[in-house]
Amino acid sequence: MAKARAPTSPAGRVLPVMAVVLWLMLRSAEAATYIVGDATGWSNVANAATFYSNWASGQTFQVDDILVFNFISGQHDVAVVSESSFTSCTTSSPISLHTTPPVNYTLNATGAVYFICTHDSHCSQGQKLSVAVGTASGPTTSPSPAGTTTPSPPPPPPPPSNSGTRFMFASCRVMFISMAICLLMMW
Ligand SMILES: [Cu+2]
């Protein structure tokens, strides 16, 4: 007689799934994931300093965004360093050192963050990256060789980031997979 309430109504099963999907989408709106150097990854490529400087200037970084450093294990690493160590490529006593790829680094505060590779002379070759977190006005500290001091150029409008777009597609994929699961459950 005391028939247990059958949890078989489609809506009862779909709603939790939809809630999870909504939560995932809200999360993705908060934080973005950036692949450092995009397809090139984290390496001592030719003109690396310019390459990574240009890469960073094309992005807008916010707190909680994640930088992903892709590299071959044992050939590179990711050291978070002070501004002076960044400028001088001092590899001793970094703030933190990450050696196992891929390195996911969460930007946890506003301001500048400095990354270098400590392998051989990779930093001197330009394998270094500085990002400005929480400001939309481009790289704050690009240690360009002395001489060229241009009078404050107007800040370019931030272009849509490839990595961010890619992440959005990933979110959409999650959403579509969840919807497919919903449909299956309703059958
Ligand atoms: Cu390296």
What pLDDT, in 10s, does the model give residues 75-116?
Answer: 999 999 999 999 999 999 999 999 999 999 999 999 999 999
Distance 78 CA to ligand 1 centre (A): 8
Domain extent, residue 84, equals: 32-138+160-172
Distance (angstroms) between ligand 1 centre and the Cα of 122 equals: 5
pLDDT band at 129 (very low <50, low <70, confident <90, very high): very high
Whole-number Å distance, alpha carbon 27 to ligand 1 midpoint, is 32
For the domain that residue 100 is a member of, what is the CATH number? 2.60.40.420
Tell me if 154 is assigned to some domain. Answer: no
Whether 7 is covered by a domain: the verdict is no
Residue 107 lies in a domain: yes
Region for residue 120 given its phi and psi (left: phi exceeds 0; alpha: psi -120 to 50; beta: otherwise):
left
> Which residues, at least 6 apart from 151, have a Cβ–Cβ distance to it below 8 Å?
none
Confidence band, pLDDT 50/70/90 cuts, at residue 140: very low
Cis peptide before 102 (omega within 30 of 0): yes
**Whether residue 153 has pLDDT greater than 50:** no
Question: Which two tokens mark 46?
Answer: 């030719």
In a domain, 92, yes or no: yes
Q: Do the domain assignments include residue 65?
A: yes
* Residue 20 domain-assigned (yes or no): no
Q: Could you give the strand order of the β-sheet that contains 103-106, starting from the edge strand earlier in sequence?
A: 33-35, 66-69, 103-106
Q: State the total domains in the chain.
A: 1
CA atoms within 13 A on the CB side of 187: 5
The answer to whether position 152 is within a domain reads: no
Query: Band of the pLDDT at 11, cuts 50, 70, 90?
Result: low
DSSP-derived 3-state class of residue 154 = coil
